[in-house]
Structure 1
Amino acid sequence: MTTPTGAGPRSSGPLTGTEFAELDRLIFEDDDWWAMPSADQTALRHRLVTAAVTHHLEHSADYRRFAEASGFTLADLDDPAGLARVPQFPTRMFKRMEIRSVPAQDCDVFKSSGTSGTQSRVWRDEPSLERLAGSLRPEGDIWRTLYGDIDLDDDGEMVHLGPHRHEADGVWISYLMTLVEMFAATRSYVHDGVLWLQDAVRDVGTALADGRFVCVAGPPVFVAELLRHMADNSIKLSAGDRMAVITGGGWKKNESTRLDPDELRSLAMDTFGLASASQVRDVFNQVELNTAFIECEHHRKHVPPWVEVIVRDPHDLAPVPAGRPGLMSYLDPTARSYPCFLLAEDFGTAETDTCPCGRGGTTVDIHRRMRTSSHHGCALRLAETVRTA
């Protein structure tokens, strides 16, 4: 299977209805998703999720049985309020079942962390991967607040603190972070289980000296390791506005090992000599979710308008009002190869007000994992298996 480039969709096989053509135009051609009025976003999600539910009911026997057992029918989707009734798989079901809506030979398998028997296994075909890549498309307005008018293809350098996809063994965060290759020329700095910090520092300094825009991307734990290495060796840079730091993955395994995003931003500003804390951004995704949520300059994670976020009361799974914490759940129509209708194991909140950055739509804040879960997340599992040098 070829690697998504973000340049645009290839054939989506049987999923070629009007709604999916609309979805692909939005993902691959629209540079400012969040300018869409709120009412239009609501109507869009209703159309797209309804089409996706119809597809997966037809093509996934497991999802069809699950929906029938839930008493759900397509008549429940006669209006947007019915989206809350769409059956959602608990994400742990991906640890127990092979959930697909297309043939296995059309897919690659991506894994979360954990030992054998406890990993989520998600089957993605090429259209699903391309849409995921499209949600990270560097032409988007939310990214341009980082690098302005710089041509990243010619003047950018990506420093990826992780393994290349060929060494990732299907672990999702490793693969996801390699999609930074869409931005600019990229080097990866985990090889044979070793994070080569000295090489990363050297190459960052060289690229800045050459006048290039540098983006350091990786799990928060690896960015923290790089910053500690630089502090231990009394290394500071003066990047100004010629640098960005992008993190993706888990922030804590437990309270004793928690990384604080504000502290990491402050340390990155001081160590790299950044002009603004807005140059440090986080991206939220998990192996079962097929869209990335990107942090804006005010550090709020924006949900693209095609994803329905429903925060649920953990006791009865009823939807809770905006701003009230609960279990996060998602209806994501971008996945063709599996039903991406998920009840996650994270507690968080969703807001529907206009962000201080001026973008409308939904923003999310992920607070913590369920304490009953032993699943640490791909980034933290990666940190447990990689040494530094």
Structure 2
Amino acid sequence: MTIPYHLTKTEKESQLLAKLNDLTKWHIENSPEYKAMLEKSSAKEVANCLEEVPHLPVQLFKLMDLKSIPQENVVKVLTSSGTTGQQVSKIYLDKDTSVTQTKTLVEVMKPILGNKRLPMIILDTKSVLKDRKSFSARGAGILGFSNFGRKHFYALNDDMTLDVEGLQSYLKEYAGQRILLFGFTFMIWQYIYKESLKQEIKLDFGDSILIHGGGWKKLKDEAVDTQEFNQLLHQQLGIREIHNYYGMVEQVGSIFVECSHGYLHTPSYADVIIRNPITFEPVPFGEQGLIQVLSELPKSYPGHSLLTEDLGTILGEDDCSCGWKGKYFNVAGRIPKAELRGCSDTFQGGGVG
């Protein structure tokens, strides 16, 4: 897996379909819950096309412990971010799946970040990483992306206040060098951007590249879109290059990164399908619907084909002006809860798409 955006539609579909069919078979043999769900549904065990690969609703990981490995092989448990009292997804990783996900993340980011580790500022607090065996979505993201950096500096103190002094001396030390910034969209907005405005701190991150994802819903409430976010961060913090990504803890490692033209792309090992929220039938390009994510990475748990709660639109395939192959798409945000009830009813008693 060297160049993640080079396969055309035909090449990619045949390779990915074979791998996804192998995974379906593996999970049937190794996860009794997954097998039972497939037996109760009309899903095909061997799909003839990507649209036929059986999919689980992502909410199931909040309701059940789904894994395809013995408990003694679990090396890491990832949890989705949720507010207090909310159920969180639990994702069980063995060593192989964990290593594969880390390696794949490196390949996917190479076209943007290159091969060299850059000085890195993590726009978060170090306390997110306190438990090394159980990680939140934020912790998993930080851990995954910290592989691209060196001399890591955490911009927030444990109480979520901005470490202005530390930040300024770090920027001074690496002045003139390219710096990698990583964080979660809402955290950056709330604790870095807004705080620097409030305290009237003018920071210049110089020749920096920011990779960020997650938490757009809270920004939509403040009527901030991608363009405005990028523009304001450039004005206030001097950040030169910004790439958003779409991903979730239920398919960690399978991330869809924004190209130089601002579109999210599917790499060769993963794909997206957009489905009608009522009928679950695939919709044509240009039409908005529920995002289904496919990935050849999840082997320790049946997460290779998931129907998310997010709405998105595929804009095209193999013809983005950035030069990357694969489908390119955008995400409009989460489906309203009222509409979602209909989806969860469909899956009562373990139904599968």
Task: Indicate how the Cα distance of structure 1 residues 93 and 114 shifts in structure 2: closer, same or farther if over 3 A, else same.
Answer: farther
The residue number in structure 1 matching 2:171 is 205
- The CA deviation string for residues 153-188 of structure 1, in whole angstroms up to 9 with x for no partner, is xxx211112233532662112221232221121122
Following superposition, the deviation at residue 119 of structure 1 comes to 1.0
Higher mean C-alpha displacement, 311-320 vs 111-120 = 111-120
Where 1:159 maps in the other structure, the secondary structure is strand
Residue aligning to 2:162: 196
1:339 corresponds in structure 2 to: 302
Mapped to 1, the partners of 2:143 and 2:227 lie a distance apart of 25
Per the alignment, residue 329 of structure 1 pairs with 292
Contact 1:162 1:195 in 2 (8 A): no
Q: Is residue 2:53 matched to residue 1:106?
A: no
- After superposition, give the CA deviation of every residue in 1:314-341 in whole Å (9 maximum; x if it has no partner): 1110111122110111222201111112
**Residues 1:227 and 1:337: Cα distance change in structure 2 (over 3 Å):** same
Task: State the TM-score, normalized to the length of structure 1.
Answer: 0.77
Gap runs ≥5 in structure 2: 341-353
Q: Name the CA distance, whole Å, in 2 between partners of 1:274 and 1:140.
A: 18
Task: Provide the alpha-carbon RMSD of the alignment.
Answer: 2.5
Is the counterpart of residue 120 in structure 1 residue 120 in structure 2? no
Please give the alpha-carbon distance, in whole angstroms, between the structure 1 residues aligned to 2:212 and 2:92: 24
- The yes-or-no answer on 1:360 pairing with 2:325 is yes
Q: Which of 183, 187, 205 pairs up with 2:153?
A: 187
**Match of 2:243?**
281
Separation of aligned partners in 1, 2:165 and 2:294: 41
Distance, in Å, in 2 between the alignment partners of 1:199 and 1:167 is 24
Q: TM-score, normalised by structure 2?
A: 0.85
Following the alignment from structure 1 to structure 2, what is the Cα–Cα distance between the partners of residues 359 and 300?
Answer: 10
Equivalent position to 1:299, from 257, 262, 276 = 262
Deviation (angstroms), 1:256: 2.9
Query: What is the match of residue 313 of structure 1?
Result: 276
Q: Any conservation in 2 of the 1:173–1:249 contact (CA below 8 Å)?
A: no
Q: Which amino acid aligns with 2:16?
A: R
Q: Which runs of 5+ in 1 are unaligned?
A: 1-25, 376-389
Q: 1:97–1:255: structure 2 CA closer, same or farther, 3 Å change rule?
A: same
Change (3 A) 1:374 1:95: farther
The answer to whether residue 42 in structure 2 is matched with residue 68 in structure 1 is no
Q: 1:353 to 1:36 in 2, by over 3 A?
A: closer
When structure 1 is superposed on structure 2, of 311-320 and 296-305 the one drifting more is 296-305
Equivalent residue in structure 1 for 2:121, among 139, 142, 159: 159
Task: Find runs of 4+ consecutive structure 1 residues off by over 6 angstroms.
Answer: none
Write the deviation string for residues 348-377 of structure 1: whole angstroms up to 9, x where unpaired.
1123242121111012311110211799xx
Identity %: 24
Aligned equivalents of 1:138 and 1:183: distance in 2?
11
Q: What residue is the counterpart of 1:12 in the other structure?
A: none
Contact 1:88 1:343 in 2 (8 A): yes
Work out the CA distance in 2 between the residues paired with 1:111 and 1:374: 25
Whole-Å separation in 1 of the counterparts to 2:162 and 2:199: 15
Alpha-carbon deviation of 1:114?
3.4
Q: Give the partner amino acid of 1:357.
A: C
Q: In structure 2, give the amino acid aligned to 1:109.
A: V
Look up the equivalent residue of 1:284 and give its one-letter code. Answer: Y
Contact conserved, 2:119 with 2:179, CA < 8 A, in 1? Answer: yes
User: Shift in Å at residue 43 of structure 1?
Assistant: 1.0
